[in-house]
């Protein structure tokens, strides 16, 4: 029963964030998703409905490294996503934390992306 309540609260937080956060061509949305085992990041242009850049802990670049849904992996994924975005000419994004609270691995991912050159 507790997990249903926790999931519902996360879903409500996600809707509240998405109501305000919209990505454009000039400033796309950087969406993060954490499962129990992996981390996914997408940089999305909502006006065109296209994913511009993606990075995850399941990508081929992470092959051979010990990964998990933790802060250490979040730093690596945030850095990789930011470098890929800057490589495509994206300098500024809107951060969409999903339903997650801004602490721990979400904060680690955001800080790593900022250090790699993204502005948000």
The CATH number given to whatever domain includes residue 86 is 3.30.420.100
Full-prediction pTM beyond 0.75?
Answer: yes
**Cβ pair 39, 33 in contact under 8 A:** yes
Domain that residue 83 falls in = 2-115
Low-confidence ranges of the chain (pLDDT < 70): 1
Buried b (16+ CB within 10 A) or exposed e, 15-49: eebeeebebeeebbbbbbbbeeebbbbbbbbbeee
pLDDT at 53: 96
pLDDT at 67: 86
Residues in the chain: 120
Specify the number of domains making up the chain: 1
- Is residue 41 in some structural domain? yes
- Is residue 120 in some structural domain? no
Name the token pair of 17. 């964030």
């Amino acid at each position: 029963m507790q997990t249903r309540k926790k999931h519902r609260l996360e879903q409500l937080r996600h809707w509240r964030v998405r109501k305000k956060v919209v990505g454009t061509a000039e400033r796309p949305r950087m969406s993060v998703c954490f499962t129990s085992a992996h981390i996914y990041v997408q940089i999305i242009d909502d006006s065109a409905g296209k994913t511009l850049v993606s990075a995850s802990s399941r990508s081929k670049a992470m092959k051979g490294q010990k990964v998990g849904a933790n802060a250490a992996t979040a730093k690596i994924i945030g850095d990789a996503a930011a470098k890929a975005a800057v490589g495509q000419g994206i300098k500024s994004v809107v951060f969409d934390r999903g339903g997650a609270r801004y602490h721990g691995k979400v904060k680690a991912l955001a800080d790593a992306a900022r250090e790699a050159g993204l502005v948000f």
